[in-house]
Amino acid sequence: SGHLDAAMLDVTDPEPLPDGHPLWRHPKVMITPHIASVTQADSAAQSVVDNIRRHRAGEELIGLVDRTLGY
């Protein structure tokens, strides 16, 4: 009905949205890649250090992106 001027979506259901979903083309909708936050240097550095330790130990890394999901 035109009551909203615009929408910014960080999370959708389903996630990720299918390729043909109307929200991808909606002129008043912006979709972020579910990373809309500011990185905190201390915690980010600790995460990198932890993952380096895990990699060296042959353990599964934390926070990997599954590119087959489309985002």
Looking at the 3D structure of the chain, how many domains does it have? 2
Structure confidence at residue 46 (pLDDT): 93
Whether the CA torsion 59, 15, 26, 20 is positive or negative: it is positive
Q: Are residues 56 and 24 in the same domain?
A: no
CB-CB contact of 71 with 34 (8 Å)? yes
- Domain of residue 17 covers 1-37
pTM listed for this prediction: 0.46
- 47-63 mean pLDDT: 95
**How far is the C-alpha of 71 from the C-alpha of 61, rounded, in Å?**
18
Place of tokens 């895990």: 54
49: tokens are: 């250090």
pLDDT tens track for 27-44: 999 988 777 677 888 889
Q: Are residues 50 and 29 in the same domain?
A: no
- Give percent of the chain with pLDDT exceeding 70: 94
Q: Are residues 48 and 65 in the same domain?
A: yes
- Give percent of the chain with pLDDT exceeding 90: 44
